[in-house]
Structure 1
Amino acid sequence: MQSSFVTASPTQFYTWQNYRCAYEVHQPNNSHPQGIPLLLIHPIGVGLSRQFWQKFCREWYQTGHQNQIYNPDLLGCGESDMPHVAYTPNDWAEQLHYFLQKVVQKPVIVLVQGALLSIAIKLVQKEPNLIHSLIFAGPPAWATITKQSPVWQQKLAWNLFDSPFGNAFYRYARTPKFLRSFSTRQLFASSDTVDSEWLNTLVMGAKNTANRYAVFSFLSGFWRQNYSSEIASITQPTLVVVGEQASSISREGKAETPDERLADYLVCLPQGRGIKLTGRNVLPYESTVEFVAAIAPFIDEVAYSSS
């Protein structure tokens, strides 16, 4: 669905390490972009890609905001190439580092969903001068993001997924029945918000089964490291947005309350601030109106303070 408030470029491509990587650029219709551009980092999962952000982009422009938006597909997702490799946060951060340097070429506000925070953390280390500020939407439990997963365990999980068993599992996981069930159990606060747009987007995105390599890399836990010192070194203004019903799939994060999660991040971040919203774990999609209203003052403030 295309809104009269937003102009999206056709899919564009750039080449990184001989892979073709896709992205699109959004800007307000009938006016010039204003403010600091946004760089969106989509979550990894069955059928997920940059399409995750379409609902957010529509709401952003419908409410009068005029920032240009860069919305890339990570390697292994969407319309980007899907090589048969085990991806790490560093790989995806390298991809986005190149994207910032060669395509965007100006400072951005990074908006990242969920555990892909791990990519944003690596990216800000590689290119601090092009990261103006950051927004963490539904970040993982603090106990999860600060615990190193054993490398042998990650490799064992990858080898299990990268097998006929994994192929069969992925084919089942991309069915509407599974996607609805998983979304209701783990992602959304209300089953009513697991709508047809969400499910249809995932089903379409999972048609190419090569998407499973990115999903299996995520499920294998290559992103599970102790990021506490790296988070503490982020000097850019950072907004942490947590759902009032935020939950954790990992054992170590299950006992944590949303207030505790928010407090842990804010204690560690030098320039952190936080807010809680109605919803659970995919706030930009589930609580789009509230999410846009919550982050807009932060974006306006950091833009004003740097002008």
Structure 2
Amino acid sequence: GNLDVGKVSTIGVMLIHPIGVGIGRWYHHRLLHELQTRYQAGSNELVVVSPDLLGSSTACNPVMTSSSGEVLTKRKTPLLNITDWSDQLSDLMTTIEEQTTIDKWCVVTNGGCSPIALQIAADRMRRTDSNGTNGNGQSPVSNVVLSSVPRLSFFLSTSDPVKVRKSYRTLARGIVGKAFWWYSLRNDGAFILKFSERNLCAKPENLGPDWKRNCVDSARLFGGRSRYSTFSFLAGALQDGCADALATLVDSGVEIDLIRGGDPKVNRAKSWFWETPKQNQTATRSSTDDPKDQPETLRQFLQRNGKRARETTIGGRISVAHEDAAGYARALLAFIG
């Protein structure tokens, strides 16, 4: 919604939630509240958009209709490419631009969904000429804000599409996926809570009393159809390759800034379906190597290629927009002005 009126310019903020069992736009409810609270004195107007990603929560039904009953979109499944999600959000941004004036956009996301934000920004930049004019009348993306970013290889390497499809089929059609989904939701989501406390937050209390209930309720919508987007994510669909998007953005005026959690624990949830044992062993060893031998980070890569790549550390660990919404809001507002 609009956070203020009568300002100098209007900035659209697209919030992209993570993909996981039962995760949806509710993930950003705390952040939305903090933005509403903290931006009353801002110099610009903010229009904040927080949709359910295609295949997640309320958007897991591929047929969407208007109030008159007209079918608006019918998306294919499975979702196996970055563009399956970036196209959805870019279309939504265009729809919003038709309804209100947006001078520029900031696209915000977390962790493994970072490629979606980069793809949106790069696509809009490619359509913008040297005068800053977009031939489709679209407003440019001026800022990308990424939190809890994966290692640089995640962005520069490309997953094998054959392996991704094989992993997806194993999950979506076989007993492995059925068992995983059943186990995740059994005992009213006891596993979801245990997994989240162990892998996604600095302290269990950071999740709050509604985390488990929101996950379970969202995961059960439409007969549990959101499991297919989760399976796509686990199969490596978002490791579709970001090198082209990054190449476009490092040569542009788009700011790419980072927010990280201050909790020191390094282990995190990962998709094992597309990683070889050798890669997993390398990842384990790297956490104990001397700092000078650590592989280049995304921030270092961006700075080496001429970007400021500002970074702010806030509370929390992985799910920082939920864990420390106040800190996240302060960092985000500082980045976009």
TM tier, smaller: 0.7 to 0.9
Q: Unaligned stretches of 5+ in structure 2? A: 63-75, 126-138, 271-279
Contact 1:145 1:224 in 2 (8 A): yes
Q: Partner of 1:202 in structure 2?
A: 215
Q: Partner of 2:48 in structure 1?
A: 69
Q: Partner of 2:124 in structure 1?
A: 127
Deviation at 1:216, TM superposition (A): 0.4
Q: Return the alpha-carbon distance in structure 2 between the equivalents of residues 279 and 266 of structure 1.
A: 25
User: Relative to 1, partners in 2 of residues 1:290 and 1:86: Cα closer, same or farther, differing over 3 Å?
Assistant: same
Q: Partner of 1:7 in structure 2?
A: none
Deviation at 1:177, TM superposition (A): 1.1
Deviation at 1:259, TM superposition (A): 11
Contact 2:206 2:316 in 1 (8 A): no
User: Relative to 1, partners in 2 of residues 1:189 and 1:227: Cα closer, same or farther, differing over 3 Å?
Assistant: same
Which of 128, 140, 149 is the matching residue for 2:150? 140
Kindly provide the amino acid, as one letter, of the partner of residue 195 in structure 1: G
Contact 1:232 1:270 in 2 (8 A): no
Q: Partner of 2:227 in structure 1?
A: 212
Deviation at 1:217, TM superposition (A): 0.5
Q: Return the alpha-carbon distance in structure 2 between the equivalents of residues 269 and 167 of structure 1.
A: 47
Contact 2:121 2:144 in 1 (8 A): no
Q: Deviations over 1:122-180 (max 9, x none)?
A: 21222225312111122222232222222222111111101242123212213421111
User: Relative to 1, partners in 2 of residues 1:145 and 1:263: Cα closer, same or farther, differing over 3 Å?
Assistant: same
- For residue 145 of structure 2, give the secondary structure of its aligned residue in structure 1: strand
**151-160 or 126-135, larger mean C-alpha shift:** 126-135
Q: Return the alpha-carbon distance in structure 1 between the equivalents of residues 141 and 336 of structure 2.
A: 13
Q: Partner of 1:86 in structure 2?
A: 78
User: Relative to 1, partners in 2 of residues 1:286 and 1:253: Cα closer, same or farther, differing over 3 Å?
Assistant: farther
User: Relative to 1, partners in 2 of residues 1:218 and 1:71: Cα closer, same or farther, differing over 3 Å?
Assistant: same
Contact 1:135 1:240 in 2 (8 A): yes
Structure-to-structure mapping, 1:1-307, within 5 angstroms: 26-28=1-3, 31-32=4-5, 34=7, 35-65=10-40, 67-83=46-62, 85-87=77-79, 88-105=81-98, 106=102, 107-128=104-125, 129-165=139-175, 166-175=177-186, 176-208=189-221, 209-234=224-249, 235=252, 236-244=254-262, 245=264, 247-250=267-270, 251=280, 253-254=283-284, 255=286, 261=297, 262-268=299-305, 270-300=307-337
Kindly provide the amino acid, as one letter, of the partner of residue 94 in structure 2: Q
Contact 2:60 2:226 in 1 (8 A): no
Number of paired residues?
273
Deviation at 1:268, TM superposition (A): 4.6
TM-score, scaled to structure 1: 0.80
> Superposition RMSD on alpha carbons, in Å?
2.5
User: Relative to 1, partners in 2 of residues 1:248 and 1:229: Cα closer, same or farther, differing over 3 Å?
Assistant: farther
Q: Partner of 1:3 in structure 2?
A: none
Q: Deviations over 1:69-98 (max 9, x none)?
A: 111111111222434722121111111121
**228-237 or 253-262, larger mean C-alpha shift:** 253-262
Q: Return the alpha-carbon distance in structure 2 between the equivalents of residues 219 and 299 of structure 1.
A: 32
Contact 1:82 1:213 in 2 (8 A): no
Q: Return the alpha-carbon distance in structure 2 between the equivalents of residues 240 and 283 of structure 1.
A: 12
Deviation at 1:269, TM superposition (A): 6.4
Kindly provide the amino acid, as one letter, of the partner of residue 294 in structure 1: A
Q: From the CA coordinates, give the structure whose radius of gyration is larger.
A: 2
Deviation at 1:63, TM superposition (A): 1.9
Contact 1:138 1:242 in 2 (8 A): yes
Deviation at 1:187, TM superposition (A): 0.9
Q: Return the alpha-carbon distance in structure 1 between the equivalents of residues 20 and 155 of structure 2.
A: 18
Kindly provide the amino acid, as one letter, of the partner of residue 157 in structure 1: S
Deviation at 1:274, TM superposition (A): 1.6
Kindly provide the amino acid, as one letter, of the partner of residue 171 in structure 2: F
TM-score, scaled to structure 2: 0.73
Q: Return the alpha-carbon distance in structure 2 between the equivalents of residues 62 and 111 of structure 1.
A: 19
Q: Return the alpha-carbon distance in structure 2 between the equivalents of residues 195 and 206 of structure 1.
A: 18
Q: Unaligned stretches of 5+ in structure 1? A: 1-25, 301-307
Q: Partner of 1:17 in structure 2?
A: none
Kindly provide the amino acid, as one letter, of the partner of residue 230 in structure 1: A
